[in-house]
A and B are shown apart, each in its own frame.
Chain A
Amino acid sequence: MFGLKLDWVCDLPPQHFVLEDYEGGTPRWCPGCGDHAVLTAVQKLVRDEQLPPEKITCVSGIGCSSRFPHYMSTYGFHGLHGRALPVACGVRSRRPDLHVFVATGDGDCCAIGTAHWIHAIRYNMKMTVMMFDNNIYGLTKMQTSPTSKVGQTSNTHPGGAPLPPLNPLTVTLGITNASFVAQTVDWNPAHVLATLRKAYHHEGLSFVRILQRCPHYMDHLWDEVQADPNKILLLEHENGVTAEPSLKRLFPNHRVHDPADLESARNIAACDMPIPIGILYQNESAARYDKLCAVGLNQGVEERLAAVQREIDRFMV
């Protein structure tokens, strides 16, 4: 059996990639941190898609989850807190050949990076955006996040978070030109992978909110949801995440939801419990700014030189 496989491997074209080709340094997240599972899912996805590592760029902000690019052996840009999206858009703007993945936290995206979140959604440039939502600031040691639930105690609100949390799904679905919104939970690897696969193939910006465990600061946050599968609403549709039988068995609570239906996506998103997972919305005909950004990409030096000369001539005395 093994001998057979070896022969078979030797025959493979040199560009066949295996998981190790995408694995960077050893992840330094806490044991049990949900980020590990997402990393593995992304590595599987790009392996399945056979994307050359040099053609992948992972962009992130700052936070535990933004460490993501360091654990991929692809190109990566671990930039500033809150600013992953502008950088990712810039990478994408003149390089349609690159596959762009973005890792951002709930603080990174929904607090300091809010302006960019809204505008990146509207720009709708092709990239896969993973928003790791652990309802807390992890890296800076447990401060309230915009998605922390009322009463959640933290180092900045020892008496509990005072305001109702911001709902990243309804916000995103409210943004003009949003084209892909999904939600998944880190503790179900099959669903994460299926969701990210859909997101990756989406022709535009895909926004995936990943409910993420942070055992270090938010132990028990999702205990209830994990213990009671009825607390999850599995969205399914032939155009959505195709739910395997095992998933369906796990989550008795399912609902057929057509991702083309924005109205119903917004209603589902607005509901706190049960937690919807799957594709809420997808529209591949939304305007794509990256198509505009690529103008003139193929112009040669001589053509550009001629244009510059013409412009300068217009100022001739």
Chain B
Amino acid sequence: MSTLATSIDKSNGSQSETTRPVQVLTVPQHVVEVVCDSGEGAQTAGQLFGTISAKTGNGVWTVEIIPAEIEPPVRSRSGASGNRIRIGSSEVTNMGDAADVVIAFNEQVLYSRIDVGALRPGTLVFLESKWGSDPQAAIREAYSEAKADFIDRGYVVHEVAMEDECLKVVADARRGKNMFALGLMCALYERDKEKVLAEVRAKFKKKGEKLQAANVALVEAGYAWTERHLDVRYRIPAREIQEELVVMNGNQAAALGVLAAGIELCSMYPITPATSVTHYLAAVMEHAGGFIHQAEDEIAAIGFALGASYAGKTAVTVTSGPGMALKTEFIGLAVMAELPLVIINVQRGGPSTGLPTRVEQGDLLSTLFAAPGDAPKIVMAPTSIAECFHFVVMARQLAETFRGPVIILTDANLATGQSPFPRPRVRSEWLAPPIDQSDWDSSVPAYAWDEQTGLSARPIPGQKGGEYVLTGLAHDERSKVAYESAINQRAMIRRSTKLAVLQKALKPPEVHGDPEGDLLVVGWGSTRGAIEEAVDRVRADGGKVSSLMLRFLSPLEPGLKEIFSRFKQVMTVEINYSDDPGAPYITEENRRYAQLAWYLRARTLVDIDCWSKVPGIPLPPGDIERVLRQRLASN
């Protein structure tokens, strides 16, 4: 659907004798993939293409294509490594549907993309042709069978002698194909060659002149091949870029958020897909006056962070599902003893070790409720890469004001997706340390809970007069262990009320689309881009559907019930498990709902439905669109 040319420009863009007449198709957006065996550099090529496109003024969203194993065998159907780059003439917020163009370094890695539905009839495929003349008969056969199959499937296949083309320029083609592919992509999308070469030079500046020159020559070879062989070009009109932009993935954004929030200690234990946040911090935290601690396990990681927080330092711990499970007891202590802490959970597929590199939104309920007893805490979910940055800054402030842990739920989709956003303006107030060593008025207890709000200020070791013993046992205002019923009830009320107070300060969420209608889709986290795009497509055909994204999960943003009441149906769309209502054994009474639906049903008593699945990959807008159309039709 997405390749339909909106205008056809038959002009001949010829500049030299070798160029042939080309047809320039102007399209609003395109999805390009470049895939290879692990180690052939398609990721670098894809990322560079994304950056170049962003600089050109296109909206961009890139997704890493990661093989399940670290070193998969070559030419394996499960081993594709690379990048999907979606470019558009306006902001791009998600990975889109099927690819319009795919460059594949062998036919097997292309199959791994076909297996996940990444292609459609009509997809333009650029396929390395060297396998067709491989010395091994089995490889030659596999190649020609695959080629025939691809044509059967309706792909438009261009065989490209990538290896030969690269060998004209470099000695080891395996290491150069990615830059050839970059040249091809840039030529296909009419990127200004001089600017591209400048970008490539900058990228390889540190690698030495020889390598730099080789890569430049390879990119030029990609341009030259395109000029000789292709008579089509795609033009994606650029936006006027008004503001300064940065481009990064969600994990980098969260890491920069940690720095900008003035957090001076990051305590972690490695776990995919959260680790890259801490890899980045490990490289830079010291320059920003902070320290990163790799603990012996996740329990120790949060314990260390809480020790630092108790001592008046700002701290964060970064993890994913299994690590969250281990941290649970300490999170309960942070709630009980009212210790500020920022916790970033980059969700992956569960339960147990689950799908370590893949996306899922499966930790919502455990994050909200996992704890011995009642442990009210703040939980937020950024819906974009920019929010991955800003929410960390906000989380630190909330953690201190509301004196407790703040959990940020991102996921593997935000973690590895790259997109440009306005450069954050960091303020020096954000970095101010909370530590105050002036004397504490000893008549003020350690938990001088405000009767109305439950809020209180905390003394910090070093402050004379503030000495108290923090405890996870039930305690009174002076932090004295207290088993009396009335004190326990009072303390629970104080800790719980803080969430209600925060909710008062929040605004009702904005509805995307009309404020009333037939169907409201509610989502949270990384699905925003896909949900809103699906809603827009259905609305363009007159469907009365709107959407709403929740950024605060605890407390929930106010006014939900009233918003829901303006729609005939309300449903959530999530990347977590729910029973299919039509499946055997599943009844209204035993159906297990998607997690946000479960929670919202309890909170609002509205009969909220859900559509969710656990494919391990982000939900394409086309899938959501289909579901929305069905819902509207069945009503």
Contact = CB atoms under 8 A, between A and B. Distances in A.
A75 B420 contact: no
Interface stretch (B5-13, B172-180, B270-278, B289-297): B289-297
B264 interface: yes
Interface residues of B, number: 69
B304 A301 contact: no
B500 interface: no
Interface stretch (B20-28, B98-106, B160-168, B246-254): B246-254
Contact of A87 (B260, B288, B306): B306
Contacts of A295: 286, 291
A308 B311 contact: no
B468 A80 contact: no
Interface in A297-317: 297, 299, 301-305, 307-312, 315-317
Contacts of A91: 307-308, 310-311, 461
Contact of A78 (B296, B315, B470): B470
Contact of B259 (A94, A311, A315): A311
A296 B289 CA distance: 4
Interface stretch (A47-55, A192-200, A235-243): A47-55
Contact of B467 (A75, A93, A118): A75
B481 interface: yes
Nearest to A84: B303
B467 A305 contact: no
Nearest to A52: B464
Interface in A74-114: 74-80, 83, 85-95, 97-98
Interface in A24-51: 24-25
Contacts of B291: 93-94, 292-296
B245 A317 contact: yes
A115 B461 contact: no
Contacts of B306: 79, 87, 90
Given A90-B303, A293-B293, A308-B426, A95 B470 contact: no
A69 interface: yes
B54 interface: yes
A126 interface: no
Give the one of B428, B463, B473, B480 with max A CB within 10 A.
Answer: B428
Contacts of A58: 469
A281 to B, nearest CB: 22
Contact of A95 (B247, B297, B312, B468): B312
B247 A315 contact: yes
B256 A312 contact: yes
Given A307-B288, A316-B246, A53 B467 contact: yes
A191 interface: no
Interface string A239-259: 000000000000000000000
Contacts of B120: none
Contacts of B305: 90
Contacts of A52: 464
B407 interface: no
Give the one of A59, A75, A78, A91 with max B CB within 10 A.
Answer: A75
A86 B461 contact: no
Interface in B74-132: none
Nearest to B466: A54
Nearest to B310: A77
A93 B426 CA distance: 27
Contacts of B465: 54
B21 to A, nearest CB: 33
A73 B467 contact: yes
A297 B431 CA distance: 13
A86 B265 CA distance: 14
A116 interface: yes
Contacts of B431: 301, 304-305, 308
Given A77-B470, A119-B296, A305 B303 contact: no
A91 B288 CA distance: 20
Contacts of B423: 312, 316
Given A94-B291, A304-B289, A86 B307 contact: yes
A98 B461 contact: yes
B482 interface: no
Contacts of A88: 307
A32 B80 CA distance: 69
B544 to A, nearest CB: 38
Given A83-B330, A95-B311, A116-B300, A317 B289 contact: no
B471 interface: yes
A294 B291 CA distance: 7
B484 interface: no
Nearest to B314: A94
A152 interface: no
A80 B472 contact: yes
B469 A296 contact: no
B323 to A, nearest CB: 14
A70 interface: yes
Given A115-B297, A309-B426, A77 B467 contact: no
A57 interface: yes
Contacts of A297: 289
B303 A83 contact: yes
B55 interface: yes
A70 B481 contact: yes
Contact of B469 (A78, A94, A95, A97): A78
A317 B307 contact: no
B47 interface: no
B350 interface: no
B303 A78 contact: no
Give the one of B247, B303, B305 with max A CB within 10 A.
Answer: B303
Contacts of B466: 54, 75
Give the one of A24, A53, A76 with max B CB within 10 A.
Answer: A76
A93 B265 contact: yes
Contacts of A92: 307
A86 B289 contact: no
Interface string B424-446: 10101001110000000000000
Nearest to A62: B472
A11 B386 CA distance: 62
A76 B469 contact: yes
Nearest to A293: B291
20 contacts: A54-B461, A55-B461, A57-B310, A69-B469, A75-B461, A77-B307, A80-B330, A83-B330, A89-B304, A93-B313, A95-B311, A95-B312, A118-B296, A296-B287, A301-B431, A307-B284, A307-B287, A308-B256, A308-B426, A311-B256
Given A116-B299, A296-B288, A311-B259, 18 more contacts: A24-B469, A53-B464, A55-B461, A55-B462, A57-B310, A58-B469, A76-B468, A79-B472, A90-B267, A94-B264, A95-B308, A299-B289, A301-B432, A308-B260, A309-B426, A312-B423, A315-B256, A317-B51
Interface of A: 24-25, 52-55, 57-59, 69-70, 72-80, 83, 85-95, 97-98, 115-116, 118-119, 292-297, 299, 301-305, 307-312, 315-317
Pick the 7 closest A-B CB pairs, nearest first: A90-B307, A86-B303, A299-B289, A76-B469, A296-B289, A90-B304, A87-B307
